[in-house]
Amino acid sequence: MAVALYVHHSQYNTVSFSKPEKSRVCSCPQCLTDGDPWFWELINSAPQPFLSEDYETSEDDFKWWKGVQWEKRNFTLYNATLSKLFQVIPRVPGVVGSSPDRCRTCAVVGNSGNLNGSSYGSLIDGHDIVIRMNRGLTKGYEEDVGKKTTHHVMYPQSAMRLDNSSRLVFVPFNIYDLQWIINLFSSLFHLENRAKSSNRIANKDLVMILNPAFMRYVHEAWLDKKGRYPSTGFIAVALSMQMCDEINVFGFGADRDGNWNHYFEQIKNKKLRTGPHAGNHEYTIIEELHNKEKIQFFVPQ
């Protein structure tokens, strides 16, 4: 059965089958949005992926986001927190749009144990943009996962230290997470905690905050509302479609033994699955995108 890649009865389901009236957007042999009008419309219907000082979150999107992890506080505090946030991090995220003068390639690297022994490292590092997520290590695993990272998607509980040139793509699930970022990069905070000032996890000038409306769009338009909310990995795949012209995906799904584990650790709980996320459904959609030749999905044999 084919997987629907947009949702009926949602705010994102307006699909036009007329051909988009625009010039070619990239110089690749095949751009991401070439061909199927339905796919172009799905990508084009996305809200702004990242928060910025001049973006106003709708109260409806905020209410949806509150339910992700049962945030109890109100819209007024959310907006006040954002005002403080943009005094600390860039007011406008560093997003560069597509251009007919370039072909921007993107590798989205998940953390699946199926990467062990894959020898994908050099292939991954050959991309213009390399997106990793959560505790996706590279040191010691370079042959299989590469060593280049341009964007790293994570939230407080999955945070790890990044090098000074990698962009932190921060996924907030509640207001506390936004306050965590403020505290992390606040000059006053580090003056009061001198011992911790050398342990900043990322370059504050390269921080990008996921828009709650984009998380909702992924959940409704891509995942048909399956799972409580999208996984960080699937959010990264959806983000790549807003940033890149050609997309290759690595390290998603279970390992060869059917375990949902990570390449950088030995799992003890063999029954570990995907928690609140619809892992199998997300995997099926990635496979369908591969079959439709929108992305290339690498699965080691």
CA–CA separation, 209 vs 154, rounded Å? 10
Q: Hey, how many other C-beta atoms are within 10 angstroms of the C-beta on 257? A: 9
Tokens of 283: 């995997």
Measure CA of the first residue to CA of the last residue in the chain; give whole Å.
24
The residue ranking higher by pLDDT, 46 or 262, is 46
| Residue 112 to residues 128, 203, 259, Cα–Cα distance (Å) | 22, 27, 9
CA–CA separation, 259 vs 269, rounded Å? 9
95: confidence class by pLDDT, cuts 50, 70, 90:
confident
Active site residues: 229, 277
CA–CA separation, 176 vs 169, rounded Å? 17
CA–CA separation, 294 vs 36, rounded Å? 10
Residue 7 scores a pLDDT above 50: no
* Residue 142 near residue 263 (C-beta atoms within 8 A): no
CATH code of domain 46-92+102-266: 3.90.1480.20
Q: Hey, how many other C-beta atoms are within 10 angstroms of the C-beta on 191? A: 9
Q: Hey, how many other C-beta atoms are within 10 angstroms of the C-beta on 194? A: 8
Domain ranges of the chain: 46-92+102-266
* Residue 190 near residue 170 (C-beta atoms within 8 A): no
pLDDT in tens, 231-280: 999 999 999 999 999 999 999 987 777 777 888 887 665 554 445 568 78
CA–CA separation, 121 vs 88, rounded Å? 35
